Amino acid sequence: MNPPIAVAVYGAAGRMGQALLRAVHERSDVQLAAALVREGSAFAGKALAQTLGDAAPDLRYAAALDAAIEGGVLIDFSGARGFDAALALALARRLAFVSGSTGLAPSQLAALDAAAAMIPVLWSANFSLGVALLTRLVRDAARALPAWDCEIIEAHHSRKLDAPSGTALALGRAAAAARGQDFDAVAALARTGEQAARSEGQIGFAAVRAGDIVGEHTVLLATAGERIELTHRATDRAIFARGAVAAARWLAGRPTGRYTLDNVLFS
Ligand SMILES: NC(=O)c1ccc[n+]([C@@H]2O[C@H](COP(=O)([O-])OP(=O)(O)OC[C@H]3O[C@@H](n4cnc5c(N)ncnc54)[C@H](OP(=O)(O)O)[C@@H]3O)[C@@H](O)[C@H]2O)c1
């Protein structure tokens, strides 16, 4: 058997970070090399056993990557605030980079392309298998029904920082691309006051923020007299963590370049 791939988790103290630690821990083909937290975080210096129990690797949460993890992968779920430092670390240490951080600025998304000249890079707004399939279904439906109105409704927990969600935007981009539309020209990211009227060909977004909703996305296609609703509901954030760890395992040792979750799941 090949030795396990070394994995460092960036943003380890967060909701997703904690799920990632558990997802790495439950596999034998990847090994946790570091649990990285923000400088000054209350987690820094604490033993991982507090999260993973007695069977945890003998590691402590840390603000710096001390371990040598050649051939390893950095998994980042630190959000738009932590993303730049995470990518810089992956580049400095020549680690493959998996990121699920959302709400990224255009310059941050462009930085992923630039980094892909030096390291293998895989970013996805959603690491669930169900959403990967939903994206395919949306592409097909939008192409088959080009004149139907397309609206995307998403719901997430009350502490989510960005809206619309990265997944909602990715679904909208998939629908626009399937129809040959320029997404930025047709997207209505929010509707208020006099800007509220729907224009032809528009792709509209609505965001709900409440309670502890893990993540729900509905793509609505409607015309006079009928409508189709394609919905995905996540009830456990472990699915995103497992998807990201599977992606990390797949990405390790690949040539430099930009990869997608679609490559992992369907290639
Ligand atoms: N792609 C997917 O499948 C998927 C699924 C779910 C969520 N997400 C995205 O993943 C991100 C994290 O979500 P979450 O719910 O886990 O948020 P969260 O609980 O707020 O966790 C984010 C973590 O990142 C840490 N962080 C921020 N800046 C940092 C830095 N410079 N260095 C190190 N750590 C830093 C935060 O530390 P402090 O708390 O100490 O500030 C926090 O622990 C969001 O962008 C979310 O939308 C993606």
pLDDT digits (tens, 9 = 90+) for 143-188: 999 999 999 999 999 999 999 999 999 999 999 999 999 999 999 9
Average pLDDT score, the chain: 95
Distance CA 78, CA 15 (A): 10
Residue with tokens 């821990």: 25
Q: Which CATH superfamily is domain 129-234 in?
A: Dihydrodipicolinate Reductase; domain 2 (3.30.360.10)
Crossing angle between the packed helical segments 129-144 and 166-178, to the nearest 10 degrees: 30
Of the candidates 65, 67, 68, 66, the residue with the CA atom closest to the CA atom of residue 76: 65
Distance between CA 135 and CA 124 in Å, rounded?
12
Confidence band for 3, pLDDT divided at 50, 70 and 90 = confident
Give the lowest-confidence range in 59-68, 80-89, 182-191.
59-68
Best mutation site among 20, 21, 38 for ligand 1 pocket (most ligand atoms within 8 Å of CB): 38
Q: Which CATH class is domain 5-123+237-266?
A: alpha beta
Mutate to test the pocket of ligand 1, among 10, 61, 75, 77 (most ligand atoms within 8 A of CB): 77
Asked if residue 141 has pLDDT above 90, the reply is: yes
Identity of the residue numbered 24: V
Kindly state the average pLDDT of the residues 205-230.
98
> How far, in Å, is the centroid of ligand 1 from the Cα of 166?
13
The answer to whether 241 and 16 are in contact (CB under 8 A) is yes
Give 105's DSSP letter. -
User: What are the domain boundaries of the chain?
Assistant: 5-123+237-266, 129-234
Cβ within 8 Å of residue 61, ≥6 positions away = 12, 13, 35, 36, 37, 41, 43, 44, 45, 46, 48
What per-residue confidence (pLDDT) applies to 68? 83
Cα 231 vs. chain centroid, distance in angstroms?
18
- pTM metric for this prediction: 0.89
The CA 78 to ligand 1 mean position distance, Å, reads 3
Which numbered atom of ligand 1 lies nearest the CA of 13? Answer: 43
Hey, CA dihedral for 37, 41, 47, 50, is it positive or negative?
Answer: negative
Question: Between 43 and 266, whose confidence is greater?
Answer: 43
